[in-house]
């Protein structure tokens, strides 16, 4: 039976399933589903520790956001451990991380973002023929609508990796703002300040 677990082909599918559940918020990927789909000839008792081992490895790699050197060193160490992984399995894991790293990282970043995000921005410029607040005629006014909402987050993570739940997406709030010329310039000045800070931060050390 151990030979069944050493095969590479189903391992790729297993890692996809683990990633979908752990990082991308796909619910309903149970131990039994993975076993029956990918390792049907392996008993649940034997499958469980194998799944835990792969889950732990994937979690470690994702948590450390390993680059390819770190990944190679880590996987080599895993092949030398008692009860570790085979070289073939290491190769499958390596290939998986290389092709899924960006997407997994993006999901992890979203999970860590607890404040609302800006989901969208729409705008229009009107030429107001009359203003309540002044006697000016044909004052341009920018109207901007911001779509603000929270992305999916983990809720009440349980001890079991496969039982974490993800909040469904919360509905957006639409915030409509009106800007006259003066306000537009003020805001754009602030945006330039932010951009300047970003440039300073991003400068190579």
Partner 1 sequence: MEDCGEPQLDAKSKVTNQLVDFQWKLGMAVSSDSCRSLKYPYVAVLLKVMDHSGQVKNKSFEMTIPQFQIYEKCSKLVIIREMQIKITTRYHTCQKD
What lies within 8 Å, CB to CB, of 180 at 6+ separation is: 139, 140, 141, 142
| Burial class for 59, CB neighbours closer than 10 Å (0-12, 13-18, 19+) | middle
Q: Which of 162, 159, 154, 160 is nearest to 108 (CA)?
A: 154
Least distance from C-beta 57 to partner 1, angstroms? 15
Strand segments, DSSP code E, in the chain are: 117-128, 139-149, 154-155, 165-166, 173-179
Nearer to partner 1, 89 or 111 (CB): 111
User: Closest distance between partner 1 and the C-beta of residue 151, in Å?
Assistant: 10
How much of the chain is in helix, strand and coil states, percent to nearest 5? 55, 15, 30
Residue with smaller CB distance to partner 1, 95 or 190? 190
Q: Distance between CA atoms of 118 and 113, rounded to whole angstroms?
A: 12
Question: Least Å distance between CB 155 and partner 1?
Answer: 13
Nearest distance from C-beta of residue 194 to partner 1, angstroms: 5
Q: Which residues bind partner 1 (CB under 8 A)?
A: 62-65, 105, 108-109, 111-113, 115-118, 120-127, 135-140, 142-148, 154, 173-179, 181, 183-184, 186-188, 190-191, 193-195, 197-198, 201-202
* Residue (29 or 142) nearer to partner 1, CB: 142
Nearer to partner 1, 20 or 86 (CB): 20
Give me the least distance between CB of 123 and partner 1, in Å please: 6
CB 117 within 8 A of CB 150: yes
Residue 5 or 58 with smaller CB distance to partner 1: 58
């Amino acid at each position: 039976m151990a030979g069944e677990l050493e095969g590479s082909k189903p391992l790729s599918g297993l890692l996809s399933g683990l990633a979908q559940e752990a990082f991308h918020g796909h619910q309903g990927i149970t131990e039994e589903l993975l076993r029956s789909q990918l390792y049907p000839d392996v008993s649940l008792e034997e499958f469980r520790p194998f799944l835990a081992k792969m889950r732990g490895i994937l979690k470690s790699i994702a948590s450390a956001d390993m680059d390819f050197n770190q990944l190679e060193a880590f996987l080599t160490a895993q092949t030398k451990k008692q009860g570790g992984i085979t070289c073939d399995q290491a190769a499958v894991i390596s290939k998986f991380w290389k092709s899924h790293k960006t997407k997994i990282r993006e999901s992890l970043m979203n999970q860590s973002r607890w404040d609302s995000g800006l989901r969208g921005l729409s705008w229009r410029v009107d030429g107001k023929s009359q203003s309540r607040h002044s006697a000016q005629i044909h004052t341009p006014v920018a109207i901007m609508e911001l779509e603000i909402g929270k992305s999916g987050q983990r809720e009440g993570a349980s001890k079991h990796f496969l039982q974490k739940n993800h909040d469904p997406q919360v509905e957006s709030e639409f915030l409509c703002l009106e800007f006259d010329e003066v306000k537009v310039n003020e805001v754009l000045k602030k945006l330039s300040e932010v951009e300047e800070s970003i440039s300073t931060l991003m400068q190579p050390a």
